[in-house]
Amino acid sequence: MTENNELIRLSAAALAEKLAAREITAVEVVQAHLDRIAAVDGDVHAFLHVDSEGALAQAARVDAGELTGPLAGVPLALKDVLCQEGVPTTAGSRILEGWRPPYDATVTARLKAAGVVILGKTNMDEFAMGSSTEHSAYGPTHNPWDLTRIPGGSGGGSAAAVAAYQAPLAIGTDTGGSIRQPAAVTGTVGVKPTYGGVSRYGLVAFSSSLDQAGPCARTVLDAALLHEAIGGHDPRDSTSIDKPVPPVVEAARRQDVKGLRVAVVKELSGEGYEAGVQERFDEAVELLQELGATVTEVSCPHFRFALPAYYLIAPSEASSNLARFDSVRYGLRVGDDGVNSLEEVMSATRAQGFGAEVKRRIILGTYALSSGYYDAYYGQAQKVRTLITRDFQAAFEQADVLVSPAAPTVAFPLGAKLDDPLAMYRQDLATIPSNLYGGPAMSLPAGLSEGLPVGLQVMAPTMRDDLLYQVGGALEAALLDRWGGPLLASAPELARA
């Protein structure tokens, strides 16, 4: 194994330790990851834009001592839905092709201030609408475990970059599972923080009451370190929670679940879940019991309505948010020949700039908000959301955390569900309830089914993100001991790369 290969396989925590001890330089680390991207991204297509010059300049500042912090000098891949000043930001859409924001998102600014090195922007389903990263206007991302399969979505680019050792860390966003479902099918760790725990300022909005940025990593501790770096109150985000970030790093290092009450959600397992996924989940739950947790089962009866409620609320908010892409202020402009009216230019721009899935959801949302249908659709969906929140609250009276499979299947072949939107939507069966509630949730590797990763989901009460990391850290340590090393070491495509 070459020196570069050794560097790219280190965890973010290990890299940070070596960088702080001056055993390696940030420029070395960044160059090793840029070389890896050049070597494998032609096959994986995790990145839409690689900022080599900017990354090396940031690394040089770290080496000069200008930037310090727990993750200073560690490379990161940024989902292309977060603004980065002067760097192309497309949200996976043609309608924003070539747009360079004049400002940084709060998440981006905090990463820069912490000395984290942003390697580039990752591929995603257009405007974060999808479960496979096949709805990107710039072509699909491929799963590093099997290049013929999907990496999940909408944040498949971020998850694939981490799984393919192109970056030790990445940022994703999660509206209905877009961090956790890609983590599940790529054998990585993905966390949706408590809604409002990480600023949404500078995040290109899909569904404002659901969107949440969060960490993608290869270990629970790495995710915790990144969570701590990006979390906290932001006065520029009206939904930001004015409370300290929960002690996630301390919790990840605790690796102890003795006496913790863990509940399996009855409605999020069994029917609709592949046999291999269910088996790995059941084994992981048994392991939690062996580690000293008390395991019970709870029923959350309204969770079965989460999917239809989500697909009324999210498209309705998308219909409103995406109205800003009007060909006037920024982005694509089609049909402006001096003859067509503004309405005709706007129509032509949206027809050419938006993809089929985005158009489908805008139409759905516009219908749900239209006169005479608002109460029957959007209003009713919000009532269901309240019932789901009450289910969570009742469950957390009986348990400290809830668990379920993170996705109902392993990664499916590219193209397998493109012609069946409902089948695609069902990939988020297990993840959507936490978004509707607003609580934190994590996916971490639970083993393999048919040679492909399975994810286990941990859900916690709002602002108890630390519980995710406590459970995740303990389970990860036990599983690594059982497997004899990281799950990613057994990925066949990665072994050949």
Q: Which residues are designated catalytic?
A: 79, 154, 178
Query: What is the C-alpha end-to-end distance of the chain, expressed in Å?
Result: 12
Distance CA 228, CA 242 (A): 15
Is residue 401 within 8 Å of 296, Cβ to Cβ?
Answer: no
250 Cβ neighbours under 8 A, 6+ residues apart: 466
Structural tokens at position 336: 């402006």
Distance CA 389, CA 372 (A): 27
Is residue 368 within 8 Å of 361, Cβ to Cβ?
Answer: no
Give how far Cα 117 sits from Cα of 189, 269, 306, 396, Å.
20, 39, 38, 38
Cis peptide before 238 (omega within 30 of 0): no
Distance CA 286, CA 303 (A): 24
Is residue 120 within 8 Å of 88, Cβ to Cβ?
Answer: no
CA atoms within 13 A on the CB side of 271: 3
Is residue 461 within 8 Å of 485, Cβ to Cβ?
Answer: no
Is residue 32 within 8 Å of 7, Cβ to Cβ?
Answer: yes
Distance CA 93, CA 109 (A): 23
Cross-sheet strand order for the sheet of 169-173: 47-50, 117-122, 75-79, 169-173, 213-217, 189-192, 441-449, 452-459, 401-405, 261-265, 294-298
CA atoms within 13 A on the CB side of 337: 5
Distance CA 413, CA 143 (A): 10
Distance CA 49, CA 119 (A): 9
